[in-house]
Structure 1
Amino acid sequence: MTAEDRTLEVPPSKPAQTSVPVHPLLAERWSPRALDPETTVTDEQFTALFEAARWAPSWGNTQPARYIAARRGEPTFDRIHGTLSRGNKGWTSSAAALAIGVTRVVDEDGEPMPYGEYGLALATENLVLQAVAEGLCAHQMAGFDRDAARAEFGIPAEFEPMVAIAVGGLGSLAGMPERLQEKELRPRTRLPLSELVFTDSWGTPRF
């Protein structure tokens, strides 16, 4: 490792700079791309990710979230990887596991499923936070080919693939393109609460 590489190591933690303390699982969650190709996910850890997703709230307990998932070294991992965008393929091969989150969009009566995307989002956030609790990290991606995923895995018409997820351990910036290195080192930022939470009337900050 060169001296330059040592100065560009991924921060072991990028805690959120919050106005008041929040739970460490929330403060420590971030979405690195620099993943360790040696990290593996145990059977119990892998199951726990989706057990956490299973217990997410959903509208009317309809539970619209479904996943296609595999660990590195399994054939399905490579099939999921093949549906990712070119930019995401470059770093996700080092993930310990990959998944595609799918939501039900039509109910058993053929009617549109209310809040299906919302339900998948809640379930996937549970999955991500469970990954943090396991000492892992997770990165959610919009950059994948939905049609390719549907064809590759025979996803029925009443379901819609919505998100791809990489889970793994924090790795090194070595070998990553400069543009991705910059993203890994960039401080985490969010809009202030004054722009997000209102009272009395729209635009009047509550905090």
Structure 2
Amino acid sequence: MKPADTSVPLHPLLAERWSPRGLDPNVELTDKQFAALFEAARWAPSWGNTQPARYIAGRRGDDTFARIHETLSRGNHGWAAHAAALTIGVAQLVDSEGEALPYGEYGLGLASENLVLQAVSEGLVAHQMAGFDRAAARTAFSVPDGFEPLVVIAIGGQGPIAHLPEKLQEKEAAPRSRKPLSEFVFSGSWQAPAL
């Protein structure tokens, strides 16, 4: 566990959320846990209730997991094999009439954070990654025009880091950090700290 070092107390789901790569290859998701991830994503807010988030999901050992895994970059391919589940987050960017759908990426982001926080509530961890081949994912899963694969999320149980390359072991062990609120929240004018 690496709880966030926050300036004020946060809800434990937020403080305990982080993105480890050291996953336990023996952890499996129950059917209920797997469904709850996507039920949480389904209830995320979206612009005009357009619900632009879609997911392609597989569990370790099934064909969908294997095909998602094959789209991952070299840096993610090794450690992500230990995930209990892999999912590709896809954003709808065009509506059924061919018009641009505003805030599709934002909607997918909100839904994905709901999914991640549900994982944390189940005692699991999740790691979101952009390191995958979007074109390969589109082809492998016949993603239609108007939809864009944007993120892969690995979900599982936190585990040992010994199987990780040395550089990733260092990242796993390093303290978590964020910019201070004074560089993050402004009031009155740009970069005038509000906190």
Map 1:134-173 onto structure 2 (within 5 A).
Answer: 134-173=122-161
Alpha-carbon distance, 1:175 to partner:
2.5
Divergent runs of 4+, >4 A: none
1:100 equivalent in alignment to 2:92 = no
**Correspondence for 1:128 among 79, 97, 116:** 116
In 2, the alpha carbon distance for the partners of 1:86 and 1:200 equals 45
Quote the residue 2:2 is aligned against.
14
**Correspondence for 1:182 among 170, 181, 187:** 170
- SS class of match (1:198): coil
Task: Kindly provide the amino acid, as one letter, of the partner of residue 140 in structure 1.
Answer: Q
In 2, the alpha carbon distance for the partners of 1:123 and 1:36 equals 25
Task: Kindly provide the amino acid, as one letter, of the partner of residue 2 in structure 2.
Answer: K
TM-score, length of structure 2 as denominator length: 0.99
- SS class of match (2:38): helix
In 2, the alpha carbon distance for the partners of 1:65 and 1:98 equals 16
Quote the residue 2:44 is aligned against.
56
In 2, the alpha carbon distance for the partners of 1:14 and 1:166 equals 18
In 1, the alpha carbon distance for the partners of 2:71 and 2:133 equals 5
1:38 equivalent in alignment to 2:26 = yes
**Correspondence for 1:28 among 3, 11, 16:** 16
**Correspondence for 1:73 among 46, 50, 61:** 61
1:111 equivalent in alignment to 2:130 = no
In 2, the alpha carbon distance for the partners of 1:56 and 1:184 equals 29
- SS class of match (1:69): strand
Alpha-carbon distance, 1:163 to partner:
0.2
- SS class of match (1:199): coil
For structure 2, the 5+ residue unaligned runs are none
Cα deviation, 1:59-93, whole Å, max 9, x if unaligned, reads: 00000000000111111110110011111011011
Q: Kindly tell me the number of residue pairs found equivalent between the two proteins.
A: 195
Alpha-carbon distance, 1:204 to partner:
1.0
- SS class of match (2:15): helix
Quote the residue 2:187 is aligned against.
199
Q: Percent identity?
A: 70
In 2, the alpha carbon distance for the partners of 1:173 and 1:148 equals 29
| Higher Rg | 1
TM-score, length of structure 1 as denominator length: 0.93
Q: Give RMSD over aligned pairs.
A: 0.6
